[in-house]
Amino acid sequence: MSTPDINDQPAGEPRKLAGAGLRRLRLRSVAAAAAAIAFGSLYFFVRQQLKDGVWGFDLYLFNKSLATASLFLVTLSMILTGIGYFSRRPGRALAFRKHYGLAGFWVGAAHGLVSHLLLPSRFPLPAWTFEHPVASATGLAALVLFGAMAASSSAGVKGRLGGELWRKGLRYVGYAALVVACVHAGILKWASWVNYFGSFGSVLPSLSLPVVLFAVAAVILRVFVWRSAKGR
Ligand code: HEM
């Protein structure tokens, strides 16, 4: 069904239809977040069995699935622009960008809170922060930048800033936050990734590896969009 056209409806209808459309977008992004977390949980559950020979699932593994789901969702919200630019019919996928981004922010916030408030024995504050200053700073910075995007994604802010400046601001802050989140995950998981390619002992790599590669692909696609738009 095509996106409802507001112009050919009697007066009261647009608000109801827009409301229904918005509800559908939000529901789909919540479903996408739940699916990403469920997939991550299953992945880390099976990987732990292959790696350590134990079947078990706990908050530590769940936190990893929150972390990878957050990075996946914010990457998805940004890569849709690049895909839309090069595809003939960008269509409805673009409408999901804001909502996948918002879902990624809230899942990232949950991950940060679970790490330090619900897993204090693993990631004690402030000790863990002093031992991992760059990983902590980049995690927090990514969350603050994604939060700033969430706060300024409303039509009101767009109206005040003007469309062009608003779009540019969201774009640059978005890609900066994505790179910072990749640095955060990279610092914490580098040893695990190198170990994986050294021995393939765990059969499956940490899910953070393919998700960070997905984020890198989104940044590279953005560069292609920028170069192509400059050439037009
Ligand atoms: C205040 C904010 C944040 C804090 C305190 C935080 C903390 C942590 C901690 C403690 C880990 C290690 C987890 C482990 O080894 O099991 C971790 C890993 C990770 N974090 Fe964050 N993080 C924050 C924000 C973010 C954000 C915003 C993202 C993504 C957009 C993110 C993505 C990741 C990823 C992908 C991993 C690797 C998970 C794994 O494979 O083990 N983090 N973070």
Domain locations in the chain as residue ranges: 13-231
- Spans in the chain with pLDDT lower than 50: 1-10
Compute the distance from residue 192 Cα to the ligand 1 centre, in Å: 14
H or E segment to which residue 220 belongs: helix 208-231
Compute the distance from residue 210 Cα to the ligand 1 centre, in Å: 15
How much is the pLDDT for 133? 97
For the domain bounded by 13-231, which CATH number is listed? Answer: 1.20.120
Which is nearest to 106 in space by CA: 116, 94, 98? 98
Compute the distance from residue 69 Cα to the ligand 1 centre, in Å: 10
Instruction: Check pocket membership of 222 for ligand 1, CB cut-off 6 A.
Output: no
Say how far apart CA 84 and CA 90 lie, in whole Å: 4
- What's phi and psi for 21, nearest 5 deg? -65, -45
Instruction: Check pocket membership of 65 for ligand 1, CB cut-off 6 A.
Output: no
Compute the distance from residue 23 Cα to the ligand 1 centre, in Å: 29
How much is the pLDDT for 90? 59
CB 13 within 8 A of CB 45: no
How much is the pLDDT for 2? 47
For residue 123, give the 3-state DSSP assignment.
coil
